[in-house]
Structure 1
């Protein structure tokens, strides 16, 4: 049943995008409904993902420097590999947490938008965390 709903929503979103002649910001569409919600969150996620990747790389650079410095004293110091592992685990956590939040919130077409908004919120929080702890 969920697969059928997802396919219907995807078809609806695809049709909306194909039929749209103007390039209007989906976040400012009056009465855009679920389709505009999906498109809005998708656009915001693109920007958030780029920022996450940028701050992640800056964090890797700083952690690499710390690792090199610490290896002068402790030759087996490993900081970068565990940091990468932690980030991969965080991505899995974010996705699982948001899927749960979406499923538990409402059985409607808005469920997917809520999942996307959750991922967006958690991604932006992660960017701020990287900036505060590693990049700042």
Structure 2
């Protein structure tokens, strides 16, 4: 997740990109950062709620970790699909 996010941020911060308007990239970066912060808060709340099924039990930590992994995989896939359309070179590595 961090690697993909870093690649996207680096691409959006490029000062010279003849294929994409700098103002568009600035706006995309601003929205990405806002979205990522909101997603992290949502993930933590959602996984805390999901793991409450095992509240106080030995499986609570496992459920929390599984939820985070699952949500992270979904987030990576969503970011990849969205940004590979605009920046196909992100998908090359």
The TM-score normalised by the length of structure 1 is: 0.50
Residue in 1 that maps onto 2:74: 125
C-alpha distance in structure 1 between counterparts of 2:76 and 2:45, whole Å:
19
- Which aligned pairs between 1:24-43 and structure 2 lie closer than 5 A? none
**For 1:3-56, what per-residue CA distance to the aligned partner results, in whole angstroms no more than 9, with x for missing partners?**
xxxxxxxxxxxxxxxxxxxxxxxxxxxxxxxxxxxxxxxxxxxxxxxxx00011
The TM-score normalised by the length of structure 2 is: 0.70
Secondary structure at 1:109 match in 2: coil
Decide whether the 8 Å contact of 1:63 with 1:79 is kept in 2. Answer: yes
Q: List structure 1 segments (4+ residues) > 3 angstroms apart after TM superposition.
A: 62-66
Structure 1: gaps spanning 5 or more residues: 1-51
Structure (1 or 2) with the larger CA radius of gyration: 1
- Looking at both structures, which has the greater relative contact order when contacts are Cα pairs under 8 Å and sequence separation is at least 6? 1
Residue in 2 that maps onto 1:61: 10
**For 1:102-123, what per-residue CA distance to the aligned partner results, in whole angstroms no more than 9, with x for missing partners?**
00x2332101110110001101
Structure 2: gaps spanning 5 or more residues: 84-89
Say if 2:20 is the partner of 1:95: no
Secondary structure at 1:98 match in 2: helix
RMSD of aligned residue pairs (Cα, Å): 2.2
